[in-house]
Structure 1
Amino acid sequence: MTLPPPADLGAPLPAPSLSPELLHRLATRRSAPAQALTAPGPDANQITDLLTLAARTPDHGKLFPWRFVVLGPVTRADLAERLAALAVQKSLPAKATAVLAKLTAAPVTVLVISTASPGSKPVWEQELSAGAVCMNLEHAANAMGFSSSWITDWYSYDPDALALFGVRETEKVAGFIHIGTATEPALERVRPDLSALTTTLP
Structure 2
Amino acid sequence: MNGETQVANLIKSRRTVRLFKDDVVPEALLLELLNVAVWAPNHEHRQPWRFILFQGVARSIFAEAMVRTYSSEDREKYGPKKRAYLEAVPAHLIVLLKEDPRQKKWDEDYAAVCSLIQNFQLAAWERGLGVVWKTNHYNYDPGFRETVGAQPGEKIVGVLHIGYPDIVPPARPRIPAEELLTVFG
Shorter-chain TM-score above 0.5: yes
Instruction: Describe the superposition over 1:68-102 as per-residue Cα deviations: whole angstroms up to 9, x where unpaired.
Output: 11211311212322443453xx4363576354555
Letter paired with 1:27: K
- Identity %, equivalent residues: 25
TM-score where L is the length of structure 1:
0.78
What pairs with 1:34-183 in structure 2 (closer than 5 Å)?
Answer: 36-87=19-70, 90-91=71-72, 93=74, 97=79, 98-100=81-83, 103-118=86-101, 122-183=105-166
Report if the CA contact (8 A) 1:148-1:180 is conserved: yes
- By percentage of residues, which structure has more helix? 2
Aligned amino acid, residue 72 of structure 2: S
CA RMSD after TM alignment: 2.5
2:74 corresponds to which letter in structure 1?
P
4+ residue runs of structure 1 moved beyond 4 angstroms? 98-102
Summarize the Cα distance change of 1:37–1:172 in structure 2 as closer, same or farther, 3 Å threshold. same
Give the structure, 1 or 2, with the largest relative contact order (CA under 8 Å, sep 6 or more).
2
Q: Aligned partner of 1:110: which letter?
A: L
Aligned length: 181
Q: What SS does the aligned partner of 1:70 have?
A: strand
Q: Distance in 2 between matches of 1:24 and 1:41?
A: 27
Q: Which letter maps to 2:86?
A: L
Instruction: Decide which moves more: 22-31 or 100-109.
Output: 100-109
Report the Cα distance in structure 2 between the residues aligned to 1:39 and 1:171, rounded to whole angstroms: 31
Deviation of 1:197 after TM superposition, in Å, equals 2.0
- Unmatched 5+ residue regions in structure 1? 1-17
Partner of residue 14, structure 1:
none
SS in structure 2 opposite 1:40?
coil
Q: Evaluate the alpha carbon distance shift between residue 134 and residue 103 of structure 1 in structure 2; reply closer, same or farther with a 3 A threshold.
A: farther
Gaps of 5+ in 2: none
CA contact (8 A) 1:115 1:172 kept: yes
